[in-house]
């Protein structure tokens, strides 16, 4: 499979009162087609987040936006452009990152989480110094991360997100 140059085309989902920013690496092919985050039907992100907050799983883009707004969560990605095979993070090269610093200034972001190892590594390498908020690693909800069960994901996310909100 030939690598293609991909530009991040999704707008960040953020409100002035957003307190949490969750960063992925780059939207999947399916998410780019659907024009919204975590759109692949086998990606467990929305189901995990619904369980973390004890809510029903949002189905439509509008329901997902309302879920994020209600829970003061912003969504975006670390990568602005790169070369990639399909949706495979392991194939990513030639990375340019998004300006997360400007995004964080628009809201009340107190915590930044990254979904997956690559987002965490890229954030720490290119963005941490200017954003000045430590990122907290969360395991990827991608179907490619099959070694972590749904139950383990929920437990991990709940421990990190809900417990940190109590502090």
pLDDT of residue 2: 73
Band the pLDDT of 1: cuts 50, 70, 90: low
Q: How far apart are CA 99 and CA 101, in angstroms?
A: 5
pLDDT exceeds 70 at position 167? no
Q: What is the mean pLDDT of residues 118-129?
A: 96
| pTM exceeds 0.85, yes or no | yes
Q: Which residue do the tokens 């992100």 mark?
A: 45
**Angle 86-87-90 (CA atoms, 0-180°, nearest 5)?**
105
Quote the pLDDT of residue 95.
93
Cα→Cα distances 92→36, 59, 81, 83, 137, Å: 20, 29, 10, 6, 19
66 Cβ neighbours under 8 A, 6+ residues apart: 58
Domains (range + CATH), the chain: 4-166 (3.40.470.10)
Active site residues: 43
Q: What is the pLDDT of residue 3?
A: 79
Residue-level pLDDT at 92: 84
Q: What does pLDDT average to over the chain?
A: 93
Sign of CA dihedral 111, 21, 5, 118: positive
> pLDDT digits over 50-100, tens only?
999 999 999 999 999 999 999 999 999 999 998 888 777 778 889 999 999
User: Is the CB of residue 117 less than 8 Å from the CB of residue 145?
Assistant: no
Return the higher-pLDDT residue of 160 and 167: 160
- The residue assigned the tokens 């964080």 is 104
Residue 166 has a pLDDT of: 58
Alpha helices in the chain (DSSP H): 29-34, 45-52, 61-70, 100-105, 117-122, 128-131, 150-157, 163-166
DSSP state of 89: G
């Amino acid at each position: 499979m030939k690598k293609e140059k991909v530009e991040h085309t999704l707008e960040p989902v953020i409100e002035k009162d957003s307190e949490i920013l969750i960063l992925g690496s780059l939207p999947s092919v399916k998410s780019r087609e659907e024009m919204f985050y975590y759109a692949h039907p086998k990606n467990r992100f929305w189901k995990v987040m619904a369980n973390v907050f004890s809510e029903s799983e949002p189905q439509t883009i509008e329901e997902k936006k309302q879920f994020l707004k209600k829970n003061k969560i912003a969504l975006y990605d670390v990568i602005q452009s790169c070369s990639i095979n399909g949706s495979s993070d392991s194939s990513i090269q030639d990375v340019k990152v998004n300006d997360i610093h400007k995004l964080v200034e628009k809201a009340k972001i107190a915590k930044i989480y990254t979904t997956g190892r690559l987002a965490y590594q890229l954030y720490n390498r290119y963005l941490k110094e200017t954003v000045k908020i430590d990122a907290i690693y969360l395991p990827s909800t991608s179907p490619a991360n099959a070694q972590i069960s749904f139950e383990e994901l929920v437990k991990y996310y709940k421990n990190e997100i809900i417990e940190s909100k109590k502090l």
